[in-house]
Structure 1
Amino acid sequence: MKKIILVRHAKSSWKHNVIDHERPLNERGIKDAHLVSVNLKESNINIDLVLSSDAMRAKTTANIFISNLGIDSNIAHLNHKLYDFSGTDLVEVIRTCDDSINTLMLFGHNHAITAFANTYGSSYIDNVPTTGVVIMEFNITDWKNLNKGKTVQTLFPRDFK
């Protein structure tokens, strides 16, 4: 059994004159990342690997979750392929994970996050919001055999406000 915890990056700021890749989080995004990660902690999930897009807004979101969940930073890595909006590279990153990884946490971007959740999950989600978490389980032993799984939980900021 494999588990994926998908996290869409928190709300970013458009106030700064920077390229898309360097956009930081806004105040709401920081608050929502803390809110959702603190609530996720109650699930007591043991995470084997954290992969995040290397975009500023994704890696900042990941760092907030890592801190609040008490995840060892040595199992967290940036991956430029997760700076993906279509979902093609997201699927490739997952399929090439080492099979010793049972629970994978990924930080990325829409449309890729929502498309993955709807393609591989069992519940339709119109749009995974910023800082939205979708937890999915897959009855596989090898990541390369990724196929339709089960959506087991969603945590969206609006659920805690």
Structure 2
Amino acid sequence: MKILTLVRHGKSSWEFDVSDDKRPLKSRGRSDAKLVANQFINNNQLPQMVFSSPAKRALETCKIFTQTIGFSENSVIIEDDLYDFGGENVIKFVKSLSNEIDDVMIFGHNHAFTSIANIFGDTYIDNLPTSGLVRLNFEINKWEDLEKGRTEYIIVPKELR
């Protein structure tokens, strides 16, 4: 079995005149990410590996999760292909993962994550909100065989506030 956890970055700030990949989180983005991270660890299911988009808002969200989980910052692998909004590069990345990894967590962006959750999960979601998390299970032994799986759960901050 393979498990994929997708986490959309927290709410980002538009108040700075910076390029898209340099936008930081708003304070609400940080607090929502912490809420979701705490709920995630209550499920006692920690990933083997953590990957993040290089975008500042995704990395900040990832740091909040790794600190909450108790992983070191050095355990996060930054992957350029995760700075993707359509989903094709994320899917290619997941299909190329080492089969020695059974449980992976990825931090990235919408529309890619909503699309992937709907393509590969069995629960339709209209939109994965900022700081939203989707955990998907697959009855496969190799990531390259990625196919329709099961949506184990979805955590959204609005339901935790």
Q: Which residue number in structure 2 is paired with residue 93 of structure 1?
A: 93
2:114 matched to 1:114? yes
Measured after TM superposition, the shift of residue 159 of structure 1 is 1.1
1:59-95 CA-to-partner distances (Å, cap 9, x unmatched) read: 0000000000112444311111100000000001100
- AA aligned opposite 1:138: F
Structure 2: state its 5+ residue gaps: none
The CA RMSD measured in Å over matched residues stands at 0.8
Q: Which residue number in structure 1 is paired with residue 158 of structure 2?
A: 158
Q: Distance in 1 between matches of 2:49 and 2:97?
A: 9
Contact residue 52 and residue 78 of structure 1 kept, 8 A: yes
Give 1:9-20 correspondences, 5 Å limit. 9-20=9-20
TM-score in terms of structure 2 length: 0.98
Q: Which residue number in structure 1 is paired with residue 39 of structure 2?
A: 39
Measured after TM superposition, the shift of residue 39 of structure 1 is 1.1
Q: Which moved more, 1:63-72 or 1:143-152?
A: 63-72
- AA aligned opposite 2:14: W
Q: Distance in 1 between matches of 2:100 and 2:67?
A: 24
Q: Which residue number in structure 2 is paired with residue 129 of structure 1?
A: 129
Contact residue 121 and residue 148 of structure 1 kept, 8 A: yes
Q: Distance in 2 between matches of 1:34 and 1:120?
A: 26
TM-score in terms of structure 1 length: 0.98
Contact residue 46 and residue 69 of structure 2 kept, 8 A: no
Measured after TM superposition, the shift of residue 13 of structure 1 is 0.1
Kindly tell me the number of residue pairs found equivalent between the two proteins. 161
- AA aligned opposite 2:53: S
Q: Distance in 2 between matches of 1:16 and 1:76?
A: 26
Q: Which residue number in structure 2 is paired with residue 25 of structure 1?
A: 25
Measured after TM superposition, the shift of residue 109 of structure 1 is 0.3
Q: Which residue number in structure 2 is paired with residue 143 of structure 1?
A: 143
- AA aligned opposite 2:5: I
- AA aligned opposite 2:85: F
Q: Distance in 2 between matches of 1:67 and 1:46?
A: 13
Structure 1: state its 5+ residue gaps: none
- AA aligned opposite 2:69: L
Q: Distance in 1 between matches of 2:31 and 2:79?
A: 25
Q: Distance in 2 between matches of 1:73 and 1:46?
A: 15
Q: Which residue number in structure 2 is paired with residue 82 of structure 1?
A: 82
